[in-house]
A = this chain, B = another copy of it.
Amino acid sequence: MHNVGCLNCKNNLCIRKVSVFNTLEYEDMLEIARMIGHREYKKGEFLCHEGDKTSMLFVVNSGKVKLSKFNIEGKEQILNIISDGEIFGEYYLFMDFEPYNFSAIALTDVKICTLVKQDMDYILLKYPKISHKILQEVSKKMIGAENLAQNLSTINTDSKVHYVLKELAQKYGTEHEKKIRLELPITREEMANYAGVTRETMSRKLSALEQEGIIETVGNKIIIINDIEYLEDY
Contacts and interface: CB of A to CB of B under 8 A. Distances in A.
A71 B140 CA distance: 20
A171 interface: no
B128 A77 contact: no
Interface in A75-99: 75, 77, 79, 90-95, 98
Interface residues of A, number: 40
B101 A149 contact: no
Given A102-B146, A132-B124, A146-B101, A95 B139 contact: yes
Contact of A136 (B75, B94, B132, B156): B94
Given A142-B141, A153-B152, A196-B153, A136 B95 contact: yes
Nearest to A160: B153
A91 B152 contact: no
Contact of A135 (B131, B145, B147, B148): B131
Contact of A138 (B75, B139, B159): B139
A154 interface: yes
Nearest to A137: B94
A75 to B, nearest CB: 7
Contact of A71 (B91, B101, B150): B150
A17 interface: no
Nearest to A141: B142
B98 A143 contact: yes
Nearest to A91: B139
A168 interface: no
Interface of A: 69, 71, 73, 75, 77, 79, 90-95, 98, 101-102, 124, 128, 131-132, 134-136, 138-143, 145-150, 152-154, 156, 159, 196
Given A93-B139, A98-B143, 6 more contacts: A73-B156, A75-B153, A124-B132, A131-B132, A138-B138, A145-B146
